[in-house]
A = this chain, B = another copy of it.
Amino acid sequence: MTSLVSEKRIILKPIGIVRTEAVGDEVKDKTRISHIIIRNELAEALEGIEDFSHLFVLFWLHEISEEQRKTLKVHPRGRKDLPLLGVFATRTNLRPNPVGLTLVELVKAEGNVLTVRGLDAFDGTPVLDVKPFDAWDMAKDARVPGWWTKLEKEKAQPR
């Protein structure tokens, strides 16, 4: 089917920035605390957010190059023992629009600062949006492929 997609570019401006002391793989530790510093002029837009326990954070993977954005296929986590898959069938950072999406726990909201747990983004990452999480965002009966389950099981192993 022909796509007829507009060639028009979409322009976003960060609403804030991630601050964390975690470096490298430490950001994947789901118990880690990070801060999201929201632009001062947008602080008012946080009012009421403290009544939610969980948020989705959309952030810009600013370390991905234009060249990397052209990647169409990857082995999940670079593992050659897993199938070669389209980037849209994985959560790789190498995607045409490298926007990260992570569900985090909101620990505290104070002024223009959100304190969150479980954000796997590096220090200095531009934040694009935060959205409250609710039950509409869950699928209890979700089906995932075998390679995914395999990786999940390995993650659950003690290191």
A residues whose Cβ falls under 8 Å from a Cβ of B: 1-17, 35, 37-40, 42, 44-49, 51-54, 56, 58, 60, 72-73, 83-91, 95-97, 99, 101, 103, 105, 111-113, 126, 128-145, 148, 152
Contacts and interface: CB of A to CB of B under 8 A. Distances in A.
A113 to B, nearest CB: 5
Given A86-B44, A88-B131, A101-B131, A144 B73 contact: no
Contacts of A8: 14, 126
Contact of A58 (B9, B99, B139, B144): B99
Contact of A132 (B12, B91, B131, B152): B91
A10 B12 contact: yes
Contacts of A91: 131-132
A8 B13 CA distance: 7
